[in-house]
Amino acid sequence: LDPHAIAGDSQAILEFLAEYYRDVDKYPVRAADLEPGRVRKLLPEAAPEHGEPMEHILEDVRRDILPGLTHWQSPRFFAFFPMNASSAGLAGEMLSVGLNVVPFVWAASPAAAELESVVVDWMARLFSLPRRFLFSGGGGGVLQGSTCEAVVCTLAAARDRALGRLGGHEAIARLVVYASDQTHATFQKGAQLVGIPSSNFRVIRTSAASGYGLTAEAVRAAVGLGLVPLYLCATVGTTGLGAVDHVRELGEEARRHGMWVHLDAAYAGSAAICPEFQDYLDGAELADSVSMNPHKWFLTNMDCCCLWVARPRDLTSALSTDPEYLKNVGADDGGAGNPAAIDYKDWQISMSRRFRAIKLWVILRRYGAAGMRAHIRRHVAAAKWFEQRVAADERFEVVVPRRFSLVCFRLAPRFGRDDDDGDDATNHANRDLLAAVNASGRAFMTHFVVDGKFVIRLAVGGASTELQHVMEVWDLLQGKAAEVLQHYVK
């Protein structure tokens, strides 16, 4: 860690990145070279015996690595959900990895642990989360790497709470986790990981009538006799369609059955910084835990997931360990009611952990709440513009009403009836359209399937995506649609 080497190497990387971001719009968005095994062929079989200058390494990055990357930070990246990056996010991440401290217990880096508790409270206030998720309200938050990890922790907490009540581990066979057919797959994975029998992971069907949101009525109908309802996931902004579950009514229904309610706002949670989106979180006070990913749409470089719990002790009872080598002044003080000395190792899966708080803190301070609201509203406005164009063009249709910055659309059926098995001409045409757009290198989008319909998703949210890029992708789509439709319409 020679200070000159730190400055020199970092400078070279920063120049490389500045050049990359200057040019990123020129690269084909999706990896141009899709041949599996290409990188392995290019690289030596073993690591070098002697160190090499950073310049040589960066040359290889340019030549061998960049052509095989999909450029997630391209302003024309509209696939999956965005994974934001920003200059403040990069700067914050540099501080985090540069300082490289490990706040697993409070005393291992007191300011890092305390900053984390402050930043999660700031975030909760920005999203107007109920007071019970703030440390001052008896709850609290933690920064994890992904929603996947956060969900496993909440499932473990819910499981142990229920088993404590039921008086024995054998009861695990009767615990049931409920999710909708739009819930992210991470909940199924999490349920498996905490030992819930796979047949007790119940998927409840949603329909177009509720905008693919989960309703209390559907949960009521699904809750079976003889089993113990354990956990219900409510999502605000589902992955496939951006649908919204009815949080308040789900919360009320879940309480009647004594279920743990988790509110997953991984993507759309960011929008709740704008008052006009806060209604979607109405009923959040009925949840036991809430999570959102700043690394999706909140200008935060990977990785960062905020998890809040109403009763930290539920979490720490399930996840605490107390090895002698980690004992410290804070060890007996962590948890509910004492935000001053938290042992965050008891709030997550891993013991060692990153100093994510400083990254999020830098971002919040650099852009401020007003800057963040402007960032969200810019994308929502661009998505709205696109949705209006789609709706006004008779060749296309909007498949579900847009709620945030995700537009789900397709070429409208015009080749006769949609088949029930989804293997119809409309689906084929839409697949061809998506393939043509992505092959052009000028945009990258992904798809979803709902009720047998192949749906194209335009997820607006890249940190440098402007209305102009959305307008250009609309032009591109129209051109490709005209080509594709020639093959289908005689």
Among 194, 216, 266, 429, binds ligand PLP (CB under 6 A): 266
Q: Is 184 in the site for ligand PLP (CB under 6 A)?
A: yes
Instruction: Give least dist CB 412 to ligand PLP, A.
Output: 27
Pick between residue 96 and residue 293 the one whose CB is nearest to ligand PLP: 293
Instruction: Give least dist CB 80 to ligand PLP, A.
Output: 6
Among 86, 239, 316, 430, binds ligand PLP (CB under 6 A): 239
Pick between residue 307 and residue 484 the one whose CB is nearest to ligand PLP: 307
Q: Is 383 in the site for ligand PLP (CB under 6 A)?
A: no
Q: Is 293 in the site for ligand PLP (CB under 6 A)?
A: yes
Contact pattern for ligand PLP over residues 395 through 414, marking x by CB under 6 A = --------------------
Amino acid identity of 249? Answer: E
Q: Which of 139, 104, 171, 112 is nearest to 319 (CA)?
A: 104
Q: Is 270 in the site for ligand PLP (CB under 6 A)?
A: no
State which of positions 68-127 bind ligand PLP (CB under 6 A).
81
Under DSSP, is residue 177 helix (H, G, I), strand (E, B) or coil? strand
Q: Angle at the Cα of 424 (from 393 to 385), degrees rounded to 5?
A: 25
Q: Which of 338, 287, 350, 348 is nearest to 318 (CA)?
A: 348
Instruction: Give least dist CB 184 to ligand PLP, A.
Output: 4
Pick between residue 172 and residue 265 the one whose CB is nearest to ligand PLP: 265
The H or E element containing residue 436 is helix 425-439
Contact pattern for ligand PLP over residues 138 through 167, marking x by CB under 6 A = --------xxx-------------------
Contact pattern for ligand PLP over residues 198 through 237, marking x by CB under 6 A = -------------------------------------x-x
Q: Is 297 in the site for ligand PLP (CB under 6 A)?
A: no
Cis amide prior to 25 (ω within 30 degrees): no
Whole-number Cα distances in Å, 464 to 48, 68, 187, 258: 37, 21, 31, 44
Among 214, 219, 305, 456, binds ligand PLP (CB under 6 A): 305
Q: Which of 216, 210, 302 is nearest to 254 (CA)?
A: 216
The Cα–Cα gap between 471 and 20 comes to: 24
The Cα–Cα gap between 86 and 102 comes to: 24
Instruction: Give least dist CB 173 to ligand PLP, A.
Output: 27
Contact pattern for ligand PLP over residues 343 through 382, marking x by CB under 6 A = ----------------------------------------
Among 135, 267, 277, 280, binds ligand PLP (CB under 6 A): 267
- Alpha-carbon 65 to chain mean position: 26
Pick between residue 402 and residue 480 the one whose CB is nearest to ligand PLP: 402
User: Residue for token digits 């990387």?
Assistant: 13
Pick between residue 74 and residue 186 the one whose CB is nearest to ligand PLP: 186
The Cα–Cα gap between 146 and 356 comes to: 12
Q: Is 264 in the site for ligand PLP (CB under 6 A)?
A: yes
Give φ, ψ of 251 to 5 degrees: -60, -45
> Which stretch in 135-143, 262-270, 281-289, 333-341 sits in contact with ligand PLP by CB under 6 A?
262-270
H helix runs in 46-146, sequence order: 54-60, 87-99, 110-126
H helix runs in 302-355, sequence order: 312-319
Q: Is 438 in the site for ligand PLP (CB under 6 A)?
A: no
Pick between residue 117 and residue 270 the one whose CB is nearest to ligand PLP: 270
Pick between residue 104 and residue 404 the one whose CB is nearest to ligand PLP: 404
Q: 19: which residues sit within 8 A by CB, 6+ positions away?
A: none
Interface with ligand PLP: number of residues (CB under 6 A): 15
Neighbours of 456 (CB within 10 A): 23
Instruction: Give least dist CB 81 to ligand PLP, A.
Output: 5
State which of positions 10-29 bind ligand PLP (CB under 6 A).
none
The Cα–Cα gap between 363 and 124 comes to: 15
Pick between residue 456 and residue 459 the one whose CB is nearest to ligand PLP: 459
CB 415 within 8 A of CB 485: no
Q: Is the dihedral of CA 149, 151, 156, 157 positive or negative?
A: positive
Q: 463: which residues sit within 8 A by CB, 6+ positions away?
A: 73, 82, 84, 85, 86, 299, 375
- Output the six-digit token pair for 323: 């090895």
Instruction: Give least dist CB 73 to ligand PLP, A.
Output: 17
**Counting runs of H as helices and runs of E as strands, what totals does the chain give?**
14, 11
- Output the six-digit token pair for 92: 């914050």
Instruction: Give least dist CB 109 to ligand PLP, A.
Output: 24
* Positions that interact with ligand PLP (CB under 6 A): 81, 146-148, 184, 186, 235, 237-239, 264, 266-267, 293, 305
